[in-house]
Structure formats: structure tokens, C-alpha cells
Amino acid sequence: MEGSIDRSIDNGIARIRFYHPQSNSFPAELLRNLASEISEVSSLLEVKVMVLESEGEKAFCAGASFDELMSIKSSSEGLVFFSGFAQVINAMRKSEKLIIGRVQGKAVGGGVGLASSCDYCFATSQASVKLSELSVGIGPFVVGPAVQRKLGLSAMSELAIDASEWRTAEWAMQRGLYNAVFESVSEMDSAIDKLATTLSQSSPEAMKELKRIFWEGTENWDQLLLDRAAVSGRLVLSEFTKNAIEKFKKK
């Protein structure tokens, strides 16, 4: 499998890092591995706070793997693929540990969903966002609930409808996706280290209760996101989507 999921734990701070050579995009297996890693690390008593990050500088996450989307031959295969994003979002939602996001570059589709599922998110000024799904005939169905919860219906709708346009990191911060935006990666990392260290020395029980409050009203997401994955899994089979993805790959 191309790509990797790595972890490190130091002084109560767990860092989970994902990587894929195609702009940190996600094939299904990598999604499943990320969901498992988040769940496993969340259960470790030595871990007090988690940081979710990716490798490289240009892209935080390019969303779903186009190569794998093109290989889907049935709605059941589509459901399995898009359920991967549902599993990751639900793992982040159910984690008893607060999750800090480190968004060093552009976030597209599922990448916006990951950033939205973090409890606190830092970014650089290069971390533009786009929900490009509609432009390839699908729609941000699986990540939509997470994005809407964080940015509100109006901003989520703007991203979903105007699917070909990037929104700046400043735009994303003003609407609540990012909590702070920095001009350089080093400045962002210093801020992440400072907050993560403070949280690692805070009350685990208090943070657990805060996390529960933050995610109130999402108790139905196990089924909701699965239902949304089924919609994407059906639409990805259309000729429109196949042709649109081919055009994107040739750019």
C-alpha cells in the first residue's frame, strides 16, 4: 500500500501523521488505518492530547484518492470506500482525548472534513480550503455534517455549491474552521507545541467532559455518515463522475 500512518508519543502528547505521495490523498486502506490508529491512541492512558498532522508542505490532504474512485465498480464497493471517511470522522468524534489539527497546506474535500473534526485547529496562510465534490458529480455528503457543525450551514453551503473555487485560510478562520492562522510553519508549530503542552498538564477528566459537550447532538452519526457514504457510493458510478475525474487527473 502506498502511504503511511505513523505515531509518536512524548510527555502525554500523541502525534498521528498520515502521508500519501499524491498530495496526502486517501485510498480506502489508509483511511481504515487512520481510523484504527486514532481509536487505539485515544485508549492509551499515557496520552492526554492528540495532534493530527500530515507530511510535506504543500498539501494537508487532497481528499479521496482519484485512482481508487475510478476503480469502483459497484455501489457496494463505493459504500466501502466512502465509509472510510465516516470511520475516521467518527473515531475523532468518539475519542475521549482532545484533538489538535495541524493544517500546513491546502485541504480539499475529505481534508476539510478532517480539519473540521479536530477540536482545535491551527493552520498556515497557505491552508486554503475547497469542497470540490460537486464538480466531479458527487457532493460532500460524508464530510458535510462535520463541516456544517464547525462552520455552520451557510459557510458549508457556500463551499459545497461553489465547488471549483478556493477559500483562503483567513476565510476559514473567520468562519470557525481554523482557530489561528500563521505566516510560517515554524510559527504554527510553536503555537501547537505550547497548547499541546498546556493540555497535557490539564485534567484528563475535565477535558473528557469538555469533549463530550463539544460533540453533543452527534450521537446518530454512526448511521448518518454510513447513509451518506451510500449516497456517494452510488453517485461515483455515474458517467459524469468518471469523465470529470479523468479531466481532473489530466490537469
- Looking up residue 152, the CATH number of its domain turns out to be 3.90.226.10
Convert the pLDDT of each residue in 178-197 to its tens digit: 999 999 999 999 999 999 99
In angstroms, the first-to-last Cα distance of the chain is 25
Q: Is residue 223 part of a domain?
A: no
Closest CA to 106 of 3, 178, 48, 34: 178
Structural domain contains residue 169: yes
What is the chain's mean pLDDT, rounded? 95
Give ∠ CA 232-168-105 in degrees, rounded to 5.
Answer: 75
Q: Is 40 part of a structural domain of the chain?
A: yes
Residue 230 lies in a domain: no
Q: Has residue 130 got a pLDDT over 90? A: yes
Cell numbers describing residue 61: 490532504
Question: Does 194 fall in a domain?
Answer: yes
C-alpha–C-alpha distance, residues 92 and 51, integer Å: 11
Range of the domain at 134: 4-200
Short-list 11, 128, 15, CA closest to 61: 128
Tell me which residue of 21, 32, 2, 13 sits closest to 59, measured CA to CA.
Answer: 21
Is 168 among the domain residues?
Answer: yes
And the C-alpha cell for 167?
A: 477559500
Flag whether 237 is in a domain.
no
Q: In the chain, pLDDT over 70 holds for what percent of residues?
A: 98
Q: How many domains does the chain have?
A: 1
Predicted TM-score (pTM) above 0.85: yes
Instruction: Look at residues 224, 238, 245 and name the one whose alpha carbon lies nearest to residue 93.
Output: 224
Q: Is the pLDDT of residue 251 over 80?
A: no
Average pLDDT over residues 198-204: 98
Instruction: Decide which of 85 and 244 is more confident.
Output: 85
pLDDT of residue 67: 86
Q: What mean pLDDT comes out for the span 140-155?
A: 98
Is the per-residue pLDDT at 92 higher than 80?
Answer: yes
User: What is the reported pLDDT for 1?
Assistant: 66
Residue with the bigger pLDDT between 91 and 239: it is 91
248 has pLDDT over 80:
no
**38-41 contacts at long range (C-beta below 8 A, 24 or more positions apart):** 38/88, 38/91, 38/92, 38/95, 38/99, 39/91, 39/94, 39/95, 41/7, 41/9, 41/14, 41/16, 41/97
- pLDDT tens string 20-74: 999 999 999 999 999 999 999 999 999 999 999 999 988 999 999 988 888 899 9
- 212 within some domain: no
